[in-house]
Structure 1
Amino acid sequence: MKLNTNKAVLKPGMTLIELTIVILVLITLISVLFIGAKAYKEGADNATCILNQEQVQKAVRSHQNMNAKNDTESFPHDEVFGATGIISEPTEPTEPDNLYAGMQDDVYPVVGTAYISCTTTNGNGPHAPASTEGW
């Protein structure tokens, strides 16, 4: 019987260090994805908040103009908001159970001031429009 003197044939594969590096790269890419998704969500919430504020402001102004009312006069809440009103009551996108600040005032705002404001803030500050001109 002859002794086998050939060296063992190594099968191709990955070493433990290579596998660790691949896992670290994947974890890094996934964490970047989560950071990007969080920023996207905050931006979408901010845009939704500002659009809600604009729509409510336009509804309140429309009601004021249709009824020939002056600024700071009160109005019936259900004529503007709700099922029989001009617009449904919006809620904040990050906290659906919360109404916007100012929703209970039922007083026409002075021109140039917003009827409602968002109480939610994120890393970029409060959800507030740069300008309410044209609302």
Structure 2
Amino acid sequence: MPTLHAGHLRSSQNFSPPTVKACDELYQAALSKIVEVLISVCKIHRLPLALTWAPCHQQGKGGCHHSDETYACCVSTVDSACLVSDLEILGFHEACSEHHLFRGQGIVRTAFTTNKPCFATEITAFSKTE
């Protein structure tokens, strides 16, 4: 196994992994930027709803939806970074907030697993399980 010295590489003596507080601050800053973008995009395109989804383990979400095997591949909404501008679809947002998605479920999971944008012309046509 090559070492740092064999490759003439050095490590900073001052290196220390980021603290939980620093990670939380970065996460909150990212969420603020996401909300800014969502507001702009929804306004420009007159979109009634924008949801932000992230892996549950990154959000620290636990609960009855997870087992040790499914926790790593589960996503749920980041409610502080969602936008609902049409109160008629508030119920849809609430249903999404309550429902966690696992590998292969829903258009959101498809986007996460393919790492490409996914679109649905009428998302409200999907059932809660879809």
TM-score for both structures, normalised by structure 1:
0.29
* Greater fraction of residues in strand: 2
Which has the greater radius of gyration? 1
TM-score for both structures, normalised by structure 2:
0.30
Which structure has more RCO (C-alpha within 8 Å, separation ≥ 6)? Answer: 1
